[in-house]
Structure 1
């Protein structure tokens, strides 16, 4: 299996895992569930498949800056990243999702800086989930390709 395909399998294996601000795949002390924020899911899955361990150094902005730009939607491959900017901050990447094909994206979504507990995540349905459009969220700012070996 290619590293790109293994990355997708790792991301999809975490469907419905709870969102936690700053979560990088560590296990919750009560439930033992892995918890993720959006960049935490990407960096955890990349490390799981033998990629660099970016969990402590890469947030959404670093993913934007250090991955290869994908200039057009038609060039997106499964496993590429879709980044979104914040309201009023068009140069600040604040959210990342993983393209799985056909314009569908998966990622840790629905939470924010106040989503710190499993109860917070449950209240706002914040978890790893799927959306049927790249533009499920306004302000798409770019697409990037991770440095896969194969």
Structure 2
């Protein structure tokens, strides 16, 4: 499942999988407990694929940050808890994204990113960065010629 179907809803804990849209909003399913909720259009909702993290040069999409965490942790959950001390969280995040903007990325943001990453990992949603379409075409051409 891609991050464009995963939502963060203001005032609600955890993340939600978008199930369907309705006339007045949408229906989401919690990744924490599987409960379904109906959310109106007035709610503050963020799609994870649209979130970016400030760095000193540019904004890095959240999916790329998740991919860097995944590579650092070998596909496992983070070695640090989202409840760790501020300094430990910042140190960990610096090891993942060394050029993040410390003035605009707060400890609370880092906590949320770590918590979301672990929640996605628990739900086997780990395909954060799509492979390049050119590369896929070349790989499938190689695979089909090997089979012959």
Q: TM-score range by the shorter chain?
A: under 0.3
TM-score, normalised to structure 2's length?
Answer: 0.22
The structure with the largest alpha-carbon Rg is 2
Highest relative contact order (Cα 8 Å, sep 6+), 1 or 2?
A: 1
